[in-house]
């Protein structure tokens, strides 16, 4: 079977705007996958392509002046690959992200492949394409399915040379966005035992709207996968015909949101370390299905404590001070010893960084770690010894400190000396 894959790698070129709508233009690369050359595996060929989203709704406050006009080539060229996609008939989530990607110098990665609806024969009319859009550095990604629209053919109609599809008068491949699945998160952090919402949504063209919708959430981690949640529903009667399987206990979805707005976000409660992984949201609607992947990271900040409340130095031997970091996740915690003498204005890294215990892992898969520092008797009294802990779950490093007191023996001797002097004094007085 021959599969044509079109990968559009590009970023914003231009945009034409009028009356609250704009055209969004992506400069792309077409990649075809198919016949292996010289008996080798499948090879990819890359060809530049362009994708124009027509009539994307723009917020009224949007300044349209900076946007220039997209002009199709004056002479239609059958070798150019110019997709024109109507989005006015479906809501187009992320339009604002795409509109501003250029200004914000964010690269838009866009990948198109030929798409075969379920149960269809290859090469059927209309043709379908799947477009994956990812904006670098932005929490948005989307997969769209394009369906070619009818071109009135006459003797002047050109055929696109690579795809074998008829071009419009202006040399474009006219299509409509008929189905899309999107997410406003690529990666999400959840606190241990907390609750997390994994965002996913879909939109479909009314013309091809299917009432039967299937939603499946799967989880994958280190090559292993399992189902988390699935729902089969009918959009006209969400109550009566909805079948839900929450494979993971404590996973839920709002059925009214599914029928109402295509909101297929899933909520996981009592998050455990074992919930960490990639979550795949697959929406199936009639002949079409598309998915989104969201990474879930579990984070739990360490509980930090010091072994001593006060540090009274001995005269000869060093005094041990321990800093304990407990029940944190993930593993990468960093501990650092600092000191600040009464004359210092800022803490300085302590010359000795102590010795670390090995990591201990608890039954909830969180970790603990301790650092033991030998504080030498040479440290001047009044100095603060600080344990500073950094961890991804902490916004800023956490510091605990203890102040060094002068050696105990000295004060003991002073008290003893004072007592002796006093006793002698009174003894003399009473004679």
Ligand X SMILES: *[C@@H]1O[C@H](CO)[C@@H](O)[C@H](O)[C@H]1NC(C)=O
Q: Tell me if residue 377 falls in helix, strand or coil.
A: coil
Closest Cα partner for 154 from 169, 175, 171, 172? 169
Residue (184 or 324) nearer to ligand X, CB: 184
Residue (197 or 356) nearer to ligand X, CB: 197
Handedness of CA 249, 255, 257, 262 (dihedral sign): positive
Piece of 80-88, 251-259, 348-356, 421-429 that binds ligand X (CB under 6 A): 251-259
Distances (CA, A) of 286 to 129, 215, 283: 16, 12, 10
Closest Cα partner for 320 from 275, 363, 371? 371
Residue 254 binds to ligand X (criterion: CB under 6 A): yes
Residue (265 or 339) nearer to ligand X, CB: 265
Rounded distance between C-alpha atoms, residue 183 and residue 179, angstroms: 14
Instruction: Tokens for 311, please give them.
Output: 């540090």
The minimum distance between CB 229 and ligand X, in angstroms, equals 11
Piece of 153-161, 186-194, 255-263, 344-352 that binds ligand X (CB under 6 A): 255-263
The minimum distance between CB 91 and ligand X, in angstroms, equals 12
Q: Which of residues 179-208 bind ligand X (CB under 6 A)?
A: 197
Q: What string marks each residue from 71 to 110 as x (binds ligand X by CB under 6 A) or -?
A: ----------------------------------------
The minimum distance between CB 256 and ligand X, in angstroms, equals 9
Convert 13-35 to b/e letters by CB count within 10 Å (16 or more is b).
Answer: ebbbbeeebbbbbbbbbbbbbee
Residue (88 or 269) nearer to ligand X, CB: 269
Piece of 13-21, 148-156, 263-271, 423-431 that binds ligand X (CB under 6 A): 263-271
Residue (31 or 97) nearer to ligand X, CB: 97
The only residue of 98, 253, 259, 340 in contact with ligand X, by rule CB under 6 A: 253
* Counts of helices then strands in the chain (DSSP H, E): 3, 29
Residue (147 or 199) nearer to ligand X, CB: 199
Are 304 and 389 a contacting pair, CB within 8 Å?
A: yes
Radius of gyration of the chain (CA): 33
Helix (H) or strand (E) holding 15: strand 12-18
Piece of 72-80, 257-265, 292-300, 345-353 that binds ligand X (CB under 6 A): 257-265
* Torsions phi, psi for 199 (to 5 deg): -85, 135
Residue (210 or 267) nearer to ligand X, CB: 267
Residue (136 or 261) nearer to ligand X, CB: 261
Q: Which of residues 277-336 bind ligand X (CB under 6 A)?
A: none
Within 8 A by CB and 6+ apart from 17, the residues are 23, 58, 62, 64, 67
The only residue of 267, 307, 327, 390 in contact with ligand X, by rule CB under 6 A: 267
Rounded distance between C-alpha atoms, residue 276 and residue 236, angstroms: 35
Residue (231 or 253) nearer to ligand X, CB: 253
The only residue of 194, 257, 330, 392 in contact with ligand X, by rule CB under 6 A: 257
Piece of 35-43, 135-143, 162-170, 260-268 that binds ligand X (CB under 6 A): 260-268
Q: What is the chain's length?
A: 431
Residue (50 or 142) nearer to ligand X, CB: 142
* Torsions phi, psi for 139 (to 5 deg): -80, 70
Piece of 186-194, 241-249, 261-269, 303-311 that binds ligand X (CB under 6 A): 261-269
The minimum distance between CB 97 and ligand X, in angstroms, equals 15
Q: Which of residues 368-407 bind ligand X (CB under 6 A)?
A: none
Give first-to-last CA distance, the chain, whole Å. Answer: 119
Are 350 and 337 a contacting pair, CB within 8 Å?
A: yes
Q: Please report, as ranges, the residues that interact with ligand X according to CB under 6 A.
A: 197, 253-254, 257, 261, 263, 265, 267
């Amino acid at each position: 079977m021959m599969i044509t894959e079109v990968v559009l790698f590009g970023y914003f070129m231009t945009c034409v705007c009028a009356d609250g709508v704009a055209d969004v233009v992506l400069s792309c690369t077409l990649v075809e996958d198919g016949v292996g050359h010289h008996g080798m595996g499948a090879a990819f060929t890359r060809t530049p392509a362009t994708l124009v989203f027509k009539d994307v709704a723009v917020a009224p406050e949007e300044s349209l002046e900076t946007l220039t006009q997209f002009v199709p080539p004056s002479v239609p060229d059958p070798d150019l690959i110019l997709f024109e996609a109507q989005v006015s008939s479906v809501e187009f989530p992320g339009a604002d992200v795409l509109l501003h990607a250029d200004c914000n110098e964010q690269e838009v990665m866009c990948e198109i492949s030929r798409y075969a609806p379920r149960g269809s024969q290859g090469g059927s009319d209309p043709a379908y394409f799947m477009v994956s859009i990812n904006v670098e550095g932005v929490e948005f990604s989307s997969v769209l399915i394009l369906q070619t629209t009818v071109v009135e053919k006459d003797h002047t109609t050109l055929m696109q040379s690579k795809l074998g599809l008829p071009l419009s008068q202006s040399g474009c491949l006219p299509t409509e966005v008929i189905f899309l699945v999107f997410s406003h998160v690529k990666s999400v952090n959840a606190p241990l035992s907390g609750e997390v919402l994994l965002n996913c949504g879909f939109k479909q063209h009314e013309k091809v709207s299917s009432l039967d919708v299937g939603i499946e959430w799967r989880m994958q981690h280190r090559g292993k996968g399992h189902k988390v949640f699935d729902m089969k529903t009918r959009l006209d009667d969400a109550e009566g015909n909805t079948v839900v399987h929450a494979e993971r206990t404590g996973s839920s979805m709002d059925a009214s949101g599914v029928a109402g707005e295509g909101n297929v976000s899933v909520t996981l409660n009592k998050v455990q370390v074992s919930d960490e992984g990639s979550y795949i949201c697959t929406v199936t609607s009639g002949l079409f299905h598309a998915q989104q992947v969201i990474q879930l990271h579990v984070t739990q900040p360490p509980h930090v404590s010091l072994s001593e409340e006060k540090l009274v130095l001995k005269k000869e031997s060093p005094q041990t001070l321990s800093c304990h970091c407990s029940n944190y996740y993930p593993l990468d915690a960093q501990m650092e010893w600092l000191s600040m003498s009464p004359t210092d204005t800022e803490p300085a890294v302590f010359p000795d960084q102590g010795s670390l215990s090995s990591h201990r892992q608890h039954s909830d898969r969180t970790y603990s770690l301790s650092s033991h520092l030998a504080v030498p008797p040479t440290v001047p009294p009044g100095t603060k010894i600080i344990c500073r802990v950094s961890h991804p779950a902490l916004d800023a490093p956490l510091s605990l400190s203890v102040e060094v007191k002068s050696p105990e023996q000295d004060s003991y001797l002073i008290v003893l000396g004072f007592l002796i002097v006093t006793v002698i004094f009174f003894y003399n007085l009473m004679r």
